[in-house]
Amino acid sequence: MLEIKDLSYSYGNSNGVLDNINIQFPKEHILAILGESGSGKTTLLKCIGKFLKPQTGQILFNGENIIDIDDLSFRRMIGIVFQQLYLFPHLTVLENMILSPVHVLKKDKETARKEALHTLKKLGIDDISKSYPSQISGGQAQRVAIARALVLKPQYLLLDEPTAALDIVTTNDFGRWLVTLKEETTFIVVTHDIPFAENVASSGVLLEQGIIKAEGTIKAILSTVHQAVEKDDEA
Ligand SMILES: Nc1ncnc2c1ncn2[C@@H]1O[C@H](COP(=O)(O)OP(=O)(O)OP(=O)(O)O)[C@@H](O)[C@H]1O
Ligand SMILES: [Mg+2]
């Protein structure tokens, strides 16, 4: 279980971006973080991924504060795929996949290659193992970035706007694909894409100017938003 307790974050001396956030992310689900541009979604992911250190509050992984967990162990608990996928253009899909295993986990190349191929096969994308990032589609690149993160077998994987560059058909395919992976990895997905969130996520939170405005099923979150809009219209 991943749990965020009383977390607040601000950049430098500016006003707070996240204000007293409390969320629990149970395992074996796909969970969504929704909210308008600038509401603090990426900042929250960066705090959970230990790229930013919150000024107050805690992030607990199975009860342990993540700041007390060493980096390598941490990367095997929580992975992150940013909106810019950071696939190396001069390396094939397979070569991109073995970077962390070889350089971080110090595995020998042949073992890393075999394991990466196994992962690609399991995820149904081994046909593009020899392609370069420029030769694959946006949907395929998104899957490769996730496959690469899954090589470290994290228990949670954070995805920032995974469907932003995808058309609706590719988004639907991608969503179905993601759902097949959730038994082994819990996904926390930041998205603007409400239909996508409704299709894949069992629950989520809605951020508004750094606070949690609503939480629960995506349907419940949407109805909160609609009620707020209707109230505004009446006023
Ligand atoms: N490195 C930074 N330094 C200062 N302020 C920042 C920095 N990164 C983000 N911010 C500010 O923090 C707020 C939240 O930004 P964040 O990127 O978390 O929003 P977001 O919800 O992910 O938005 P989007 O949907 O556009 O990606 C914004 O007001 C933004 O301008
Ligand atoms: Mg963002």
67: domain CATH number? Answer: 3.40.50.300
- pLDDT above 90: residue 15: no
- pLDDT above 80: residue 228: no
Query: Average pLDDT of 40-53?
Result: 95
Residues with CB under 6 A from ligand 1: 11, 14, 17, 35, 37-43
Distance CA 193, CA 208 (A): 16
- Mean of pLDDT over the chain: 92
For residue 15, which ligand has an atom nearest its CA? 1
Q: Which atom of ligand 1 is nearest to the CA of 210?
A: 14
What is the per-residue pLDDT across 141-163, written as a single tens digit (0 to 9) for each? 999 999 999 888 899 999 999 99
Closest-CA residue, ligand 1 atom 28, reads 38
pLDDT at residue 68, rounded to an integer: 95
Residue of 10, 21, 41, 211 to mutate, ligand 1, most atoms within 8 A of C-beta: 41
Confidence class for position 225, pLDDT limits 50, 70, 90:
confident
Question: Helix H segments across 67-137?
Answer: 71-75, 93-97, 99-103, 109-122
For residue 104, which of 137, 81, 128, 70 has the smallest C-alpha distance? 70
Closest-CA residue, ligand 1 atom 2, reads 11
Query: Average pLDDT of 181-200?
Result: 93
Number of domains comprising the chain: 1
Domain extent, residue 22, equals 2-234
Between the CA of 142 and the centroid of ligand 1 the distance, in Å, is 22
Say which range, 2-6, 115-119, 162-166, has the weakest mean pLDDT.
162-166
Look up tokens 């819990």; give the residue: 186
For residue 160, which ligand has an atom nearest its CA? 2
**Backbone φ and ψ of 91, nearest 5°:** -115, 145
